[in-house]
Amino acid sequence: MLLDSYFTADRGVYESIRRQTTKGRKLACDKGCSHCCRSHVTIPVYPLEVIGIYWYVIQKLDKEQQAALAGPLRSHGKGDPCPFLIEGICAIHPVRFLACRHFNVFDTICNEGEDAFFTRREDVLTPIKKYQDEALGKMLPFHGIKSKPQRRDAIKTGWIHQHAQVLQEIDWSKLADRIS
Ligand code: SF4
Ligand code: SF4
């Protein structure tokens, strides 16, 4: 369910980037660029995403990667930057959150501490709503919301957003316990 949701979100992001690049814009985001992971402090995370992270970290990371992550997860305090950024690389990149997948910037790499959403909104990718809603809708069966009309309603009323937590405020020490 979660991977299906991420696949849909990625298709939407790919399409938005394609539309911008045909207008001559260039994606600034690249591997190793991670100021956004440190400067953003209110990244929304949906319940199924938290389960996905537990699954990925426990089942898919090797012992060495788990050992590198356990310390930052344990010492992470409420409001601290994302603990999954290890030596400038996202340790959970294949299952990074929807919000992370959607945040892309064009033309100029962000400065340290910059949140381009506030400093130059015009350079930040606007996700295509159709894909964004579809990606969120694919998480809804996890909450028992299965039929199309129910899903549409849950998206329209923002029901799913009411169940989001803030990544930086989650107690990640429980995940640290599972890999220590
Ligand atoms: S959003 Fe900004 S800091 Fe983050 S990867 Fe893209 S250019 Fe780099
Ligand atoms: S989950 Fe990964 S991409 Fe998202 S903020 Fe954390 S380190 Fe960055």
Q: What residue spans define the domains of the chain? A: 2-126+164-179
Q: Model confidence at 32, in pLDDT bands (50, 70, 90)?
A: confident
Task: Looking at the CA of 44, name the nearest ligand.
Answer: 2
pLDDT in tens, 87-121: 999 999 999 999 999 999 999 999 999 999 999 99
Q: Which helix (H) or strand (E) holds 99?
A: helix 98-102
- Segments of the chain assigned E as strands: 44-45, 85-86, 89-90, 165-166
Residue 81 Cα to ligand 2 middle (Å): 9
Query: If you measure from the C-alpha of residue 111 to the centroid of ligand 1, how many angstroms do you get, rounded to a whole number?
Result: 9
Of 16, 33, 97, the residue with max ligand 1 atoms within 8 A of its CB, to mutate for a pocket test, comes to 33
146-175 pLDDT, tens digit per residue, is 999 999 999 999 999 999 999 999 999 999
130 pLDDT exceeds 90?
Answer: yes
In terms of C-beta density within 10 A (0-12 exposed, 13-18 middle, 19 or more buried), how is residue 54 classed?
middle
59-75 confidence digits (pLDDT tens):
999 999 999 999 999 99
Quote the tokens at residue 104: 């892309």
CB of 36 within 8 A of CB of 110?
yes
Nearest ligand, CA of residue 113?
1
By three-state DSSP, how is residue 180 classified? coil
